[in-house]
Amino acid sequence: MKRMLVLTTLGTLALAASSFASNPPATVTNFNAVTGKTTATAEFQIPSDDGALGRATFIQIRRQSVALNNSNWTDGTIVYAAENTVGAGNWVCLELTLNGPLTCNTGYYWAVRTSDEEDNESDVSNCDYSPTLPCSPSSYEVQCILLLPQRNGEMAPPVVEARGADLIALVG
Q: In what order do the strands lie in the sheet with 40-45?
A: 32-35, 40-45, 91-95
**Mean pLDDT score of the chain, rounded to an integer?**
77
Domain 23-136 = CATH 3.90.1580.10: no
Model confidence pLDDT, tens digit, residues 51-61:
667 889 999 99
pTM value? 0.72
pLDDT score at 56: 92
- Boundaries of every domain in the chain: 23-136
% of the chain at pLDDT higher than 90:
52
Model confidence pLDDT, tens digit, residues 21-65:
678 999 999 999 999 889 999 999 999 987 667 889 999 999 999
Identify any residues that bridge with 43 across adjacent strands, giving them in sequence order.
Answer: 32, 93
